[in-house]
Structure 1
Amino acid sequence: MSLRAALPGDLGFIRELAQRPDYAPFITDEDEARLAFYAGDAAHRLLIWDEGAGPAGFALFADVGMQSGTVELRRLALDKTGSGGGLGFVQALTGYAFQALGAAKVWLDASGENLRAQKVYERAGYRLEGRLRAHWFRPALGRNVDVMLYGMLRDEWAG
């Protein structure tokens, strides 16, 4: 498996993942025009997790190139869940942020109800830095959920 830049032909795959009912409570679906913007903007990296036979997941980094060196891992999703591949995916994304993007810190968030994601982030070495209570309205649920904030500093990374 490897990470590569998303191509125009990948945008449909990204939308399909974001629209799946199992992801709707946890990630935001954006139209292809917005995804194309991310793919071409210097402050973002829209990536595909490629297994050789085609895309297996995607991720979006934001705030690339900020003077602080802080990079947000804004969105990530795998096509196949529950098979244990999430940890390797998150580790690869974290390595990419520190190595390719030169991040001093990587941060991400998770729905307070997405316990599986929280466990993966913690196993990958991210630390819980805070909780925003009833912060994020999720249309699929019709209510607000807590947002869990996680971060990792470069010197905490085991790369």
Structure 2
Amino acid sequence: MSRVYLSLGSNINPKHNIREGIATLNLRFGQMQLSPIIESEPVGFIGDPFINLITTLETELPISELSSQLRLIEYDFGREDNAPKFSGRTLDIDIVLVDQLEGEHFGLTLPRKDLFEHGYMLYPLSLMEPELIPPGQEKTVQELWQQFPFPEQKLWLTEL
């Protein structure tokens, strides 16, 4: 059984899509631990704010199958194959960590490098699992957040 950390985000009808996304994931994978919810300005484009959080789940699925199932959920929520990387999302689900795996695994780089580059992933994870030390790191996520080098990323706690 693997412990998987996912990043969920949406800026198109975000409260509805995040609530429904969590419900869909709960039906498919069972109850999950949820981080506090944050709202953030979009990164890389001008648009509506995003709602983001980190979730954890336990699964026996191989990473490749889990990734495929998560992509299908995104498609069910209206994700388009050819959408630009920096654009609005109905529901974005990214695998951030899988146990203590590091490096390339079935086309995914773990831990996801965005975790260390974007506050919308690191901040909620630091609130949920402050003492977690990600693979390849020597500091906890709380320490990494306290030393986060990108202060221009505006984000704040919110509720669904």
Note whether the superposition's TM-score is higher than 0.5.
Answer: no
Report the TM-score, using the length of structure 1 for normalisation.
0.35
TM-score in terms of structure 2 length = 0.35
| RCO comparison, higher one (Cα < 8 Å, 6+) | 2
